[in-house]
């Protein structure tokens, strides 16, 4: 797991054709806007969160974010324990995010 600043995260993501953006916020938080093309799995689902993460392709590179960077950091640690080699935490989360945000479909 690696913590990336907003700039590092955005730059690395833009140059990564094996990337998946993962939003681990609640439904209510996601309703306020989501980073384009992000996959949403609520961290607070507990075991269901683990089950959903387990379905993901471990060969992809995951760019994980939440509201502040705390839950996404925990999610990255869990993913690492589950065998994901590349999980990147967005420091500061959506509170500091200055990139694009869209309404969830």
Kindly state whether residue 84 falls inside one of the protein's structural domains.
yes
Kindly state whether residue 68 falls inside one of the protein's structural domains.
yes
Number of domains making up the chain: 1
Tokens coding 49: 């969160």
**Catalytic annotation on 76?**
no
- Per residue in 23-78, pLDDT (tens digit) is 999 999 999 999 999 999 999 999 999 999 999 999 999 999 999 999 999 999 99
- Per residue in 92-105, pLDDT (tens digit) is 999 999 888 998 76
Kindly state whether residue 25 falls inside one of the protein's structural domains.
yes
Using CB atoms within 10 A of its CB, is residue 92 exposed (0-12), middle (13-18) or buried (19+)?
middle
The helix or strand, by DSSP H or E, that contains position 18, with its residue range, turns out to be none
Kindly state whether residue 71 falls inside one of the protein's structural domains.
yes
Kindly state whether residue 103 falls inside one of the protein's structural domains.
no
The helix or strand, by DSSP H or E, that contains position 48, with its residue range, turns out to be helix 47-54
> Which residue is catalytic, options 10, 38, 66, 76?
66
User: Angle at Cα 4 formed by Cα 67 and Cα 34, nearest 5°?
Assistant: 35
> Residue 74 is part of a domain; what is its CATH number?
3.40.250.10
**Which residues form the domain of 8?**
2-96
Kindly state whether residue 16 falls inside one of the protein's structural domains.
yes
Kindly state whether residue 63 falls inside one of the protein's structural domains.
yes
């Amino acid at each position: 797991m690696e913590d990336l600043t907003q700039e590092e995260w955005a730059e690395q993501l833009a140059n990564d054709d094996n990337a998946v953006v993962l939003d681990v916020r609640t439904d209510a938080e996601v309703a306020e806007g989501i980073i384009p093309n992000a996959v949403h799995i609520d961290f607070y689902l507990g075991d269901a969160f683990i089950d959903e993460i387990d379905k993901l392709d471990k060969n992809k590179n995951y760019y994980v974010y939440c509201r502040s960077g705390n839950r996404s950091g925990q999610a990255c640690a869990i993913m690492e324990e589950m065998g994901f080699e590349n999980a990147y935490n967005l420091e500061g989360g959506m509170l500091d995010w200055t990139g694009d945000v869209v309404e969830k479909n």
